[in-house]
Structure 1
């Protein structure tokens, strides 16, 4: 018996019964049925197709009635044209069309693996095939050639289960070559998700420059910061520095250099790439981004748009809901577009202020349902633990809170609000170094529930009382982005009068001292929670005059459009919404 004999692989491949024709007869007779009318009888055998296929398989095993021999790598595989054609579009076209092979009894298949071909012919008779890690890629490519779609799909599913940082790049490239789009997508997504681990394996170091460039183009790379991306480029280049250094200008264009710290730019990027003339404009672009923040609008490019994993995540905290006050938090992951339950606040608070300082969430003032608070809680996003900070000098609810700057000791401002008796114009500043609150210069007028944002290192206050001469409508939610102030939703009349809710959005340009109407929200509402996530504004929840909403929208300034994100689990109005840094470990 030759190595290609159909009977040789029975033990490994045949998982179905191989009863002889005679052995199948009792079962056949047990599955017959007879239906009658007055003029005729109709006989129906439930097991006919199964018995017939078993018999055909028996002829294949004994090499009887075969009318074609497939030859691959010198291996001869007798088979039946009708069986091959019924399972494979490739063979159907070969044997039923006008090709010369239709009249031949022996068909030579060039560049086809003999073992894979034998397994696939066996599959045509049995519907069974064995998948092994060491041979599945050859089997997939052969099945793809023969257009055995069910086997191709099974191989792809098998490979998806085998994805690992050491092989995901190879599987992605293989799937692309085989036009297996679903497998290609899954392998790429796995590579993006596990990028930090993938770059440690030989497959990454063996990439061609165009393959690496395609990888770096994706904003879905799961990295802590852009430093990881630059480090990965240098790892690839230094693996074969003599031949790869010439590719640095091409690859450096795909690293978001402006988003690196100024120290890293000088100490690492300039040191590694500064001597290459074509890299110098890219380094200078990044330096300008740091030195000229007022010009960032004109300097914006794909290199200044952060990757999804580096923009952090979004926290929606508290707010008014159907139960008249939520104390829970929800966290949004932009990589998966999903909201998940997070922590609960230590105490019940309404109308409080929130700030993020480094990896700490500061919750300031508010009211507990009975009294106005001056207490301040701190939640450490790294250790997931609560602590208490020094209390403010004044009890406040409906206050605005903003952080001025990005350093570890950036001051936090608590602005205005209501102390339970009167509206306040006072302002307090938290000093992280001394851990104390200090009263600073007051606002010109007392106000509560005002929008507060830091724009160009200045704290800005906005509400209907002071912006009425400049704003085109009455807005309440305010945030800063790209050198502008944005005001979202609100009333078409002051809050203490009856008025409809608004879907309008306005942008304030401090250079021209003008407000401009932008694309409208999809739904009119006020009491929207908003903040900057990466380089885009997100609007969360709100109140439409009847119900609390769970809508979440994100604004694209380039196209001046809003699009929906996944909704929060419950409708909330006036929720505190803040962006928190990307975690170094899963929260």
Structure 2
């Protein structure tokens, strides 16, 4: 029972319910759907303000011993009366909507709340729009907002689901309300356009004329240039509707920098406006310019930009461990060029403050960190005298550290991650040599177990769990910095080499974001670097991403999802993202310019007012005007703009299986 509703003891509830069932001391009979319920006015009044008003308002019903209750079924009323006496109710997918409606009608807050909790516990891509619409119809703002948040976060899953009927039956207004939002969570804007195509095709005759209005709200300047030319501009719904031409012109101007004002001078106000990222990547501390730094940078994956963050109570530190639990970053151990630390600090991204929490038992520089079941594991490291094999576990709920079983091997400068309920650690340095050994901790029996050795010795390595495997990248083998990548498959129990990074590096930050492995900064054997690259396991390729602002190694990384103040950490959305830098290929630029001129000519021929596209006066397109697939250059390779050409594993059409 809820604490608020537990007004009577369980014993008292049972007594009153027995009296009701035996029709003893009852003072009212409710006629419902031709059948009757014997009950007690005081019990019903305690549960429902509706019944309290009915029995005490001084009107005719107040003195009646038999009252007719309309607009509710006998079965549903039985649930309500049982709840009034026992504070218990059995909800199913079949009855929850009817019970919710009746609970709302009779103002039974406890039932309404339990129905909301039930609906949210069963929300999924197939029913989320239905739950949102249901909540909207009963003016249940809280449920509606939570359902809408689910839709925005899981948009890609929803629109690609086999059973997407609820999405496909959205009205035009609801579709636009969805795709126009900055916080729509899509890794690539191409997914939005493909979702729109699926929606149009569902009722093609009625919906194809809506493309101009919809296209206004798609961030076309954020799409891959090949995809835009071959899949957006050449699409029949776009090509055959003159009202889309001003938007196409605006996008061409922006993408190829033909018009420096193109981002804001055109019918669409969002051509160059990236969406807000659902997850933020934080790069913290490290070694820069010959000393530790306290710089915190945040990476906006949608804009592909880094921002330096001002924080309170921060102090320079390198070679520390970073873990994320419940929207907080925890920084453990490390080195400030003078001392080795056992202290632990937590960073709250909402307040932007660092605060001390309980320290570890041991000083740990070059510490390895992983999170499992809400607890933080700190493994190995260097205490200023020796390499450690001890392991400590921190519970943020109790703010306490305690030792668990030690590793099989002494190691510092290793890297760790959790996979399938186990903590894995790989590589490192034992004081004499760089290691290629790996082991895992099983919390069910508190034991460490050795794995097959990696193909290379790796100190200063990066390890992440990705696509159900463990990936180890980069590091130092005792002779040189590495750029190689290998993965461990727990089912095959072996290590397999994967494509190598572009840059050799060790002591870098590594994490998984947007279903890719990001490698950030580090030391290349000569100097600290600020370069970022990412590995796409689906295409088995590496891409460049935007460089950090600060050159540094010995940094660490944390990723936080769903922050309420995400706008404080990202590229300002009121500023247009700079146009892309197009490779110096005069022939391709001329082809793009010809495409722009063709579209401008069509607009002139149609005598269309470019400043207004929401009218109903669009003329028919020239039937024999067919857009050719123009091979166009792409932006510099990065994770949003993969390199085009035969060497790329990505299908440049970006067709999504819907």
When normalised by structure 2's length, the TM-score is: 0.46
Q: Are 1:220 and 2:213 counterparts?
A: no
Give the alignment partner of residue 292 of structure 1, picking from 222, 245, 257: 257
Give the alignment partner of residue 304 of structure 1, picking from 268, 272, 275: 272
Structure with larger Rg: 1
Match of 2:242 in 1: 277
Q: 1:332 to 1:236 in 2, by over 3 A?
A: farther
Match of 1:146 in 2: 106
Deviations along 1:548-587, one digit per CA (max 9) or x if unpaired, are: xxxx955637399xxxxxxxxxxxxxxxxxx966999xxx
Offset of 1:396 from its aligned partner? 3.3
**Alpha-carbon contact 1:314-1:580 (below 8 Å) kept:** no
Q: Are 1:177 and 2:177 counterparts?
A: no
Deviations along 1:1-37, one digit per CA (max 9) or x if unpaired, are: xxxxxxxxxxxxxxxxxxxxxxxxxxxxxxxxxxxxx
- What is the CA–CA distance in structure 2 between the aligned matches of 1:287 and 1:381, rounded to whole Å? 41
Match of 1:90 in 2: 50
Q: 1:411 to 1:175 in 2, by over 3 A?
A: closer
Match of 1:468 in 2: none
**Alpha-carbon contact 2:285-2:556 (below 8 Å) kept:** no
- What is the CA–CA distance in structure 1 between the aligned matches of 2:570 and 2:555, rounded to whole Å? 12
Structure 2 residue runs of 5 or longer lacking an equivalent are 1-6, 294-314, 330-347, 351-368, 372-414, 417-427, 429-457, 462-470, 489-495, 506-523, 534-540, 560-567, 577-637, 643-649, 651-658
**Alpha-carbon contact 1:378-1:387 (below 8 Å) kept:** yes
- What is the CA–CA distance in structure 2 between the aligned matches of 1:559 and 1:291, rounded to whole Å? 19
Match of 1:12 in 2: none
Deviations along 1:329-368, one digit per CA (max 9) or x if unpaired, are: 889999x99899696794449xxxxxxxxxx99989xx99
Q: 1:231 to 1:313 in 2, by over 3 A?
A: farther
Give the alignment partner of residue 397 of structure 1, picking from 511, 514, 527: 527
**Alpha-carbon contact 1:378-1:389 (below 8 Å) kept:** no
- What is the CA–CA distance in structure 2 between the aligned matches of 1:175 and 1:111, rounded to whole Å? 20
Match of 2:72 in 1: 112
Q: In terms of mean alpha carbon deviation, does 195-204 or 102-111 score higher?
A: 102-111
More helix by share: 1
Q: 1:331 to 1:97 in 2, by over 3 A?
A: closer
Match of 1:431 in 2: none
Give the alignment partner of residue 230 of structure 2, picking from 263, 267, 279: 267
Deviations along 1:494-524, one digit per CA (max 9) or x if unpaired, are: xxxxxxxxxxxxxxxxxxxxxxxxxxxxxxx
**Alpha-carbon contact 2:100-2:115 (below 8 Å) kept:** yes
Give the alignment partner of residue 247 of structure 1, picking from 210, 227, 230: 210
Q: 1:221 to 1:125 in 2, by over 3 A?
A: same
Q: Give secondary structure in 1 for the equivalent of 2:483.
A: strand
Match of 1:472 in 2: none
Match of 1:377 in 2: 483
Q: In terms of mean alpha carbon deviation, does 307-316 or 240-249 score higher?
A: 307-316
Q: 1:389 to 1:181 in 2, by over 3 A?
A: closer
When normalised by structure 1's length, the TM-score is: 0.51
**Alpha-carbon contact 2:274-2:573 (below 8 Å) kept:** no
- What is the CA–CA distance in structure 1 between the aligned matches of 2:480 and 2:53, rounded to whole Å? 81
Match of 2:319 in 1: 326
CA RMSD of aligned residues (A): 5.2
- What is the CA–CA distance in structure 2 between the aligned matches of 1:137 and 1:331, rounded to whole Å? 38
Q: Give secondary structure in 2 for the equivalent of 1:556.
A: coil
**Alpha-carbon contact 2:285-2:317 (below 8 Å) kept:** no
**Alpha-carbon contact 1:84-1:91 (below 8 Å) kept:** yes
Q: 1:159 to 1:252 in 2, by over 3 A?
A: same
- What is the CA–CA distance in structure 1 between the aligned matches of 2:542 and 2:211, rounded to whole Å? 37
Residues paired across the two proteins, number: 373
- What is the CA–CA distance in structure 1 between the aligned matches of 2:116 and 2:228, rounded to whole Å? 42
- What is the CA–CA distance in structure 2 between the aligned matches of 1:126 and 1:391, rounded to whole Å? 67
Q: 1:204 to 1:220 in 2, by over 3 A?
A: same
- What is the CA–CA distance in structure 1 between the aligned matches of 2:153 and 2:284, rounded to whole Å? 25
Q: 1:361 to 1:307 in 2, by over 3 A?
A: farther
- What is the CA–CA distance in structure 1 between the aligned matches of 2:173 and 2:29, rounded to whole Å? 43
Offset of 1:529 from its aligned partner? 9.3
Q: Give secondary structure in 1 for the equivalent of 2:36.
A: strand
Offset of 1:209 from its aligned partner? 2.1
Q: Which fold has the larger relative contact order, with Cα–Cα distance below 8 Å and residues 6 or more apart in sequence?
A: 2
Match of 2:361 in 1: none
Q: In terms of mean alpha carbon deviation, does 75-84 or 85-94 score higher?
A: 75-84
- What is the CA–CA distance in structure 1 between the aligned matches of 2:542 and 2:20, rounded to whole Å? 80
Offset of 1:285 from its aligned partner? 2.0
Q: 1:143 to 1:409 in 2, by over 3 A?
A: closer
**Alpha-carbon contact 2:128-2:150 (below 8 Å) kept:** yes
Structure 1 residue runs of 5 or longer lacking an equivalent are 1-46, 350-359, 413-452, 455-476, 480-487, 489-525, 534-551, 561-578
Q: Are 1:556 and 2:576 counterparts?
A: no
Deviations along 1:85-116, one digit per CA (max 9) or x if unpaired, are: 11111111222224543344443333323311
